[in-house]
Amino acid sequence: MLTMTDIVKTFPGTRACNGASLQVAAGEVHCLLGENGAGKSTMMKILSGSYTADSGTITLGGTPMTFASPIDGVRAGINTIYQELDLVPDLTVAQNLFLGHEPRRGPFVHRRERDERAAAAITRVGGTFSPTAVVGELSVSDQQLTAIAKALTTDARIVVMDEPSATLTDHDLAAVFRVIRELTAAGRSVIYISHRLDEVKEIGDRATVMRDGATVGVFDIASVTKEQLVESMIGRAVQARPPRRHNPGSGPLLHVRRAAIPGVIDISDITVGRGEIVGLAGLGGAGRSTLLATIFGDRKADLDMTLGEEHIVALTPRTAVGLGIGLVPEDRKRQGLFLEQSILRNAAIAALKPWRVNPMARAREVCHSPLSRLGVKFASVDQPVGQLSGGNQQKVVLAKWMARGIDLLLLDEPTRGLDIGAKADLFEQVHALADAGVGVLMASSELSELTENCNRIWVLHEGRNIAEYQPLTTPSADIARCIVTGRTKYAND
């Protein structure tokens, strides 16, 4: 149905695509795999018309196509759901879904019809929010569902999903998979980009693997192992995972006796010891991010906690940083980085002492070590951080706190959109920090990530911390059940 052949696309300084090819059949879920920077997103932007390829051909249903702009892509029946959600935050869900093709009666928008059709589209993707809700006020997960519903309101022949699961909870993902199956059953094709091979195995029919801008393999997913896919992606055999840590922590660090925001969260008695990594699991909206934001002073709450010797009932991000707390926020571009500023500035900003002359000279040395230990790939520390890949950007956010020196590290979805290599680099340093006595509290919607890295896992449900698990002694399935149902095994008995 779709064939992209010998695609070349060069940007100043880099060649993003170098003879890449992709063939997608009608009615299949075709997975596009590769590490960050392998050229997947560039290929999809060429397909959608956002970029124009330097050379190469695209044929759709046997007809050669040239896309000069995203409109051409949409007209040809290609609809892309980007990683960066292209929704208008101040408009309602219904307004967003039909932006540009509103149901009309004469010159007027037919509001009722729009709301009804929007409600149907939301239900179809498994959402439970109202079509008249303002998009900016929805959770990230619901926003992602809105973006998917939007792609379905146009009659697309090919739907491109760029890492939808990065922001979705497992529960929402199930609904999205159901939609994908409906689409393919109707003869549509889905191009699915993800770093999570479990999903790829579950939903995909075939996979194209890209590396360094070129296509290195096409696999039939039913007959390939995850290890083979990874090997193809990174170009070498996968090393066995380092053994899980059993560091029980060395003395108390953080004790959140109470953190409550009426109607949002009601948390009691969560502790993090020095050198301990504690996980926060839960569905989207369960309160994980809100709890982290509360501990960091970014959300006002009824708070009662102890950090080291300090008894805290109210704080701001500024005082939190002063107390030795660092937060790696959920949305690194909006909350974590100064995109057009240099890598050095980004890494150094929290470590600069006030009223100093020429603080950057010293910062250059202070930041060198964390940046190199994290394996940030850059040409120069004076390069704008926005030019880095997502994984390297996230490493810079972590480097900021390593350069500053902290006692408590809060991680909110730290591996969102990261490839396998970048994840490993990141966790290696998180473990190194823990070994040095830093307490870590980490929220993640990937349960495997929590069970592999945490000493203990708290499950949050509807704003409450309902159960604590030891991943070494509890089967993941039990934790997963608790996350979804909000009931512990014992409560059922």
Partner 1 sequence: MTDLIDRTANPEPAAVTPKSRRRGIIMRFNLLFIFIALFVVASVSAPQFLTTQNMANLLQQSSLTGIVAIGMTVVILTSGIDLSVGSVAALSGMLVAIFIGVGLPWPVAMALAIGSGLVLGGVMGGLSAYLVLPAFMVTLAGMQSIRGMTYLTTNGTPTTAEIPMGLRFLGAGSVAGIPVVGIIFVATTLIVGFVLRRTTFGEHIYAVGSNAQAARLSGLPVQRITTAAYVICGGLAALTGVLLTARLTIGQPTANTGLELDAIAAVVLGGTSLFGGKGGVLGTFIAVLLLSVLRNLFNLLGLSSFFQMLVTGLILIAALIMNYLIDRQSKSAA
Q: Does 250 bind partner 1 (CB under 8 A)?
A: no
Among 359, 375, 421, 437, indicate the residue that binds partner 1 (CB under 8 A): 359
Please state, in angstroms and rounded to a whole number, the distance separating the CA atoms of residues 42 and 38.
9
Helix (H) or strand (E) run with residue 277 in it: strand 277-281
**CB 297, min distance to partner 1, A:** 9
Q: Which is nearer to partner 1, 81 or 337 (CB)?
A: 337
Among 65, 234, 349, 366, indicate the residue that binds partner 1 (CB under 8 A): 349
- How many residues of this chain bind partner 1 (CB under 8 A)? 42
Q: Does 341 bind partner 1 (CB under 8 A)?
A: yes
**CB 451, min distance to partner 1, A:** 28
Q: Does 382 bind partner 1 (CB under 8 A)?
A: yes
**CB 363, min distance to partner 1, A:** 9
Q: Which is nearer to partner 1, 313 or 360 (CB)?
A: 360
Side-chain-side CA neighbours of 491 within 13 Å: the count stands at 9
| Strand pairing class (277-281; 302-307) | unpaired
Among 318, 477, 490, 493, indicate the residue that binds partner 1 (CB under 8 A): 318
Q: Which stretch binds partner 1 (CB under 8 A): 74-82, 104-112, 161-169, 318-326?
A: 318-326
- Tokens 């790939």 belong to residue: 377
| DSSP secondary structure of 280-329 | EE--TTSSHHHHHHHHTTSS--EEEEEETTEEES---HHHHHHTTEEEE-
Q: Does 86 bind partner 1 (CB under 8 A)?
A: no
Q: Does 337 bind partner 1 (CB under 8 A)?
A: yes
Q: Which stretch binds partner 1 (CB under 8 A): 76-84, 190-198, 336-344, 413-421?
A: 336-344
Q: Does 354 bind partner 1 (CB under 8 A)?
A: yes
Among 383, 424, 462, 481, indicate the residue that binds partner 1 (CB under 8 A): 383
Q: Which is nearer to partner 1, 350 or 424 (CB)?
A: 350
Helix (H) or strand (E) run with residue 211 in it: strand 206-211
Is 179 within 8 Å of 148 (Cβ atoms)? yes
Q: Does 386 bind partner 1 (CB under 8 A)?
A: yes
Q: Does 339 bind partner 1 (CB under 8 A)?
A: yes
Q: Does 336 bind partner 1 (CB under 8 A)?
A: yes
Q: Which is nearer to partner 1, 389 or 488 (CB)?
A: 389
Cβ-proximal residues to 347 (8 Å cutoff; 6+ apart), any chain? 363, 367, 370, 371, 381, 396, 399, 400, 403
Among 150, 400, 431, 456, indicate the residue that binds partner 1 (CB under 8 A): 400
Please state, in angstroms and rounded to a whole number, the distance separating the CA atoms of residues 102 and 104.
6
Please state, in angstroms and rounded to a whole number, the distance separating the CA atoms of residues 437 and 440.
9
Q: Does 68 bind partner 1 (CB under 8 A)?
A: no
Q: Which is nearer to partner 1, 243 or 354 (CB)?
A: 354
Among 158, 197, 348, 376, indicate the residue that binds partner 1 (CB under 8 A): 348
Question: What's the token pair of residue 464?
Answer: 């409450």
C-alpha distances in Å from residue 338, one per residue of 65, 390, 393, 446: 38, 14, 10, 27
Q: Which is nearer to partner 1, 233 or 320 (CB)?
A: 320
Question: What's the token pair of residue 70?
Answer: 């995203």
Is 120 within 8 Å of 112 (Cβ atoms)? no
Give the burial string for 117-128 (b: 16+ CB within 10 Å, else e): bbbebbebbbbe
Q: ∠ at Cα 448 (442, 449), nearest 5°?
A: 35
Residues that bind partner 1 (CB under 8 A): 11-14, 296, 298, 317-318, 320-322, 327, 329, 334-341, 345, 348-350, 352-360, 379-380, 382-384, 386-387, 400
